[in-house]
Structure 1
């Protein structure tokens, strides 16, 4: 019987260290790491884990949201594991999710979490609509025009690297390059 740990974060910039520490403390034999959004149904490392796990094995996750973003996704996974006699333990909840009572608790908790995400999205959308009605401009604010002009001037002089220009003006290289291309500028030699 193998104890698998599954750690997932939603983006490449995020860190798995905390999850891995918790899984190591649970004496997992194998820890699977994945950097993939939970909103997508394609999670290759999780799929490989599910193929590799056998009857009597255990899968441990730190939190329920590491496995899926909605109740349906989560319950389908629990049902598959239950049918294959593979245990699922969720550290944060302290439950065996494939057990009857654990599955009930997980269903209720997952439905509440999904409802909360939907409410937050509704509030966000209502706020955006309200701002539009008031004529408030939405989106990222551009860099101060003076900073962009300074960045272009420094680039044209050719004495500083792009990184140095970014650091001194706060203007990102993609913005700088876009503006240089838009204006058709060349650099002094």
Structure 2
């Protein structure tokens, strides 16, 4: 039996291109999944892998549809090969479960993994550089005026924390932190 597997990482992405490619290979069954590839927890893929039998063929469009790192991918290819299941990758135009296919796949997967690591290093360096220049990252804090207004409302003792939060935009955690810092006490009415 010929199985196709199509996956995208987010619900906003669509599978149309992958499905069209898989349909052109006359797959008997195409499994669609919208789940991140950073982990192996992809329920539909796991179910498919359990159902594959000797002589079956699994077709994917690209290497990164099955795994995000070399070890994960090669482990899966090894498992398929041991079970006599052929893995065909459309993008490469080759069967990955044969000796030369595994070699090429190892190199390609290692390059992709290296690219992800380089991007992470660039991101970290960019953040460090921004901080060194005094650029503040993350969400903007509340202005002193907003916090003072929230404290004034709290002192009036006629509004709940939720009402103060809604009126000023100052979160209850910021308000409580400021109350504690100033050692304020509310008068009981």
TM-score, L = length of structure 1: 0.74
Q: Does 1:183 align with 2:163?
A: no
Match of 2:47 in 1: 48
Distance, in Å, in 1 between the alignment partners of 2:67 and 2:60 is 11
Distance, in Å, in 2 between the alignment partners of 1:88 and 1:141 is 49
Report Cα offsets for 1:95-133 as digits up to 9, x if no partner: 100011000000011001101110111011001111011
Match of 2:31 in 1: 32
User: What pairs with 1:1-189 in structure 2 (closer than 5 Å)?
Assistant: 2-139=1-138, 182-184=165-167
**Structure ID, larger Rg:** 2
Distance, in Å, in 2 between the alignment partners of 1:180 and 1:36 is 39
Q: What SS does the corresponding residue of 1:13 show, helix, strand or coil?
A: coil
Taking a change above 3 Å as real, the CA distance of residues 74 and 183 of structure 1, as seen in their structure-2 partners, is: same
TM-score, L = length of structure 2: 0.74
Q: What SS does the corresponding residue of 2:40 show, helix, strand or coil?
A: coil
The alignment of Structure 1 onto Structure 2 pairs a total of residues equal to 148
Taking a change above 3 Å as real, the CA distance of residues 131 and 85 of structure 1, as seen in their structure-2 partners, is: same
Give the aligned CA root-mean-square deviation in angstroms.
1.9
Cα shift at 1:139: 3.4
Unaligned runs of 5+ in 2: 142-161, 169-189
Distance, in Å, in 2 between the alignment partners of 1:111 and 1:181 is 54
Cα shift at 1:64: 0.2
